[in-house]
Amino acid sequence: MVDFQLTKSQGQVKEFIHQFAESVVRPMSLQADREHHIPDDFLLRLAQMQLAFSGEVPVEVGGDGGGAGEAKDKRGKSQKNRFAMIGAEELSWGDASIILSLPGPGLGGPPVQFMGTPEQKERFFGVFKDRSQLHFGAYGLTEPGAGSDVSGISTSCRKEGREWILSGRKCFITNGGKADWVVIFATVDRAQGRAGHRAFVVEKGTPGFTVGKIEEKMGLRASETAELVLDEVRVPEDNLLGGEVHYLGKEGFMGAMKTFDSSRPMVGILAVGIARAAYEYARDFVRENYLLARAIPRYAQLATTLADMKRNIDAGRLMCWRAAWMADEGIGNAKEASMAKAYAARMAMKVCADAVQILGAHGLEQHQFVEKWYRDIKVYDIFEGTAQIQRIVIAKRILREPPTF
């Protein structure tokens, strides 16, 4: 069973990151949102603190394996996903853009870890051993015509001699413009569907590999989201993740899906962090402005709304923790990962909307926390697979599983 009691080390991680989020991250949050930028010296400080919650550098290639919280339980099982949940919620409570901008492999890390050969892991993760400069990885899957429908990617790849040639366009790529390398998914033949997928690591500066526009977004404005253009980009065959033998089945597509099993609970817990921030702000506003014991109907409604906000936040957190626990235990968690992401994102949107409603006109003031959180939260219902896609994933699995009680 999942243990709901934090261990001593988990509690220490939670307390440390919360204090950091409260004293350092939150005070710069609104300025970073206005300027659409997080200072490089601040990000470098985070890198040197070894804060990492996804895509961390594996221990076997010289990394610390889990950033702020790699640890094992009494059985020797890794708890890195559980630690990631705890730390990520606190940092997202401070500012959601920060965690997306952390130096490191980011979402590019899991496919290299899951699919890469030992030599590829050493080569591509090796750059992150240098903590004197900012280094980023990125994950290039989404295209203008293929977002949640991953099987529809059209970026093409063909082999000539000892090189692969890639052409296409990727969009909405987090840290894509500043990444040292990007994992690019392409297809040898769209008619083959999933079996035609291949995953490559394309390094910054490769001829024909350019950054298009940097998106102007409604929320998460301080996080970079880029368009990437591949125009007859030649990459060596050694950059095909796993080598050609890896793609005798549908391993390219499965590599993309495996990444989501790790990233979707993370998206969920980040949404929980934003929801908690909005709830606490609204709660404190009510405490300061209303005496809920008075017999006024509006006050009773405020109390009920706050109770619902708190209850739903706790439910979302527990769903994310379950998916993380399953990942640490080596239990397939695709259904639970999608459940956590789908529920937490929609829950957080409702909580942020309720916070705006409680604060009234104050909740709509530009460049204030609640207004910012209201803008930030919407994308959590979209990226890493929309809510509709999550429901398809969930339904497919519950229909083919044996009945449970």
Tell me the CATH number for domain 8-103. 1.10.540.10
* Distance (Å, whole) CA 279 – CA 282: 5
- 233: helix, coil or strand? strand
Integer CA distances (angstroms), 10 to 31, 56, 81, 101, 367, in order: 31, 18, 11, 23, 33
Confidence band (pLDDT; 50, 70, 90) for 147? confident
Q: Where in the chain is the domain with CATH 1.10.540.10?
A: 8-103
Percent of the chain with pLDDT over 90: 61
Average pLDDT over residues 235-255: 80
Is the predicted pLDDT of residue 320 greater than 80, yes or no? Answer: yes
pLDDT at 55 over 70: no
Please indicate whether residue 379 or residue 300 has the higher confidence score (pLDDT).
Answer: 379
For Cα atoms 306, 307, 313, give the angle at the middle one, nearest 5 degrees: 90
Q: How far apart are CA 306 and CA 72, in angstroms?
A: 37
> Which residue did the predictor score with more confidence, 191 or 77?
191
* Cβ-based neighbour number of residue 52 at 10 Å: 30
Separation CA 49–CA 32 (nearest Å): 20
Per CATH, domain 137-249 is 2.40.110.10: yes
Tokens of 91: 């940092």
CATH (one of 1.20.140.10, 3.90.226.10, 3.90.1170.50, 3.40.50.1970) for 252-400: 1.20.140.10
Spatial contact of 204 and 177, defined as CB atoms under 8 Å apart: no
Task: Give the whole-angstrom CA distance, residue 187 versus residue 156.
Answer: 5
Q: Which residues are catalytic?
A: 384
pTM (two decimals): 0.89
Length of the chain: 405
Whole-number mean pLDDT of the chain? 88
Which of 130-134, 159-163, 287-291, 295-299 is predicted least confidently? 295-299
What DSSP element (H or E) covers 244? none
The pLDDT of residue 377: 97
Helix-then-strand count for the chain, H and E: 12, 7
Domain span(s) for CATH 1.20.140.10 in the chain: 252-400
Q: Where do the CATH 2.40.110.10 domains begin and end in the chain?
A: 137-249
Confidence band, pLDDT 50/70/90 cuts, at residue 246: confident
